[in-house]
Amino acid sequence: MLQRFMDDMKLVHINTFNLPPIDAIPLVTTGSKIDADRKVMLEEYVFAVNQEKNGTFTAFLDHLLQILPAGELVRRHLKSHAIIVSDDDFADFVQLSTEVVTRIRINNETGTVDGTGLFNEEYLPSESLLYSLVFFSDEYRASKPNQTESPSEQATSIAKTFEQWLPEMFQIGANLTLGKGFVSVKIASGGDEHAKAD
């Protein structure tokens, strides 16, 4: 997962995320507070961990903190509580530790179960960090041949408008009244030399 993240960042010319191949995982930072005698308990699993030797994991987290929309709690605890696990272990945590809630749909008129009515909702942990790449292009249309802006200028203008109107925090999906789906957003602009080809 980390390799894909770093590859995606390089795609948008954010080249500050360099983490050399890791020989021994699970890996924790030098100042880790979750490491007790080289052991860490995650959920019900106990892992023998390795401590970083050259500070590259800490440097990676420092760069990550610069672009995260993180509050003070995350900023204080990320470096001391971060751990890198294998992709297989990560997949197990995603499958087995995600909150799944079974709910019943009620018919408003009858007050009873609506049809089969039973459905599941799956939630990410509240501390989840997600990212996405957003690309902008010009809005050129063949029907408007007299445009004065170049395609890259139009793309830049669209990107600025997008960034202006994107709130720092908003809610995605249903269950607003349950307090679900609130996300905070930060745009980390990449290099745009790849977009200069008009």
**104 part of a folded domain:** no
Residue 84: is its pLDDT beyond 90? Answer: yes
Nearest Cα neighbor of 163 from 137, 142, 134 is 134
Q: How far apart are CA 131 and CA 185, in angstroms?
A: 9
Q: How far apart are CA 158 and CA 150, in angstroms?
A: 12
Residues 77 and 1 in one domain: yes
Residues 2 and 83 in one domain: yes
Residues 1 and 89 in one domain: yes
Residues 39 and 89 in one domain: yes
Report the SS3 class of residue 137. coil
Please indicate whether residue 130 or residue 194 has the higher confidence score (pLDDT): 130
Which pLDDT score, from 0 to 100, does residue 81 have?
Answer: 92
* Lowest mean per-residue pLDDT among 59-63, 97-101, 173-177: 173-177
Residues 92 and 138 in one domain: no
Question: How confident is the model over 65-91, as a mean pLDDT?
Answer: 86
In the listed set 96, 126, 146, which residue is the last one of a domain according to the structure?
96
Residues 1 and 90 in one domain: yes
Count of domains for the chain: 2
- Name residue, tokens 């925090």: 169
Q: Which amino acid is at 67?
A: I
Residue 193: is its pLDDT beyond 70? Answer: no
Per the structure, the complete domain to which residue 145 belongs is given by: 134-198
In the listed set 48, 73, 96, which residue is the last one of a domain according to the structure?
96
Residues 84 and 145 in one domain: no
**111 part of a folded domain:** no
Which pLDDT score, from 0 to 100, does residue 198 have?
Answer: 38
Residues 19 and 92 in one domain: yes
- Note the pLDDT tens digit of each residue in 108-167: 888 887 777 788 888 888 778 888 888 887 776 665 666 677 777 888 888 899 889 989
What is the β-pairing status of strands 50-51 and 27-28? parallel
Residues 141 and 55 in one domain: no
Which pLDDT score, from 0 to 100, does residue 89 have?
Answer: 92
Residues with Cβ within 8 Å of residue 122, at least 6 apart in sequence: 98, 99, 100, 101
**114 part of a folded domain:** no
Which pLDDT score, from 0 to 100, does residue 41 have?
Answer: 92
Residues 86 and 9 in one domain: yes
Token readout for 193 is 């030399």
Residues 3 and 90 in one domain: yes
Residues 87 and 2 in one domain: yes
**53 part of a folded domain:** yes
**186 part of a folded domain:** yes
Which pLDDT score, from 0 to 100, does residue 197 have?
Answer: 42
Q: Rounded to two decimals, what is the model's pTM? A: 0.74
- Measure Cα distances from 98 to 23, 62, 185, 187 in Å: 28, 27, 22, 27
Which pLDDT score, from 0 to 100, does residue 194 have?
Answer: 47
Which pLDDT score, from 0 to 100, does residue 187 have?
Answer: 84
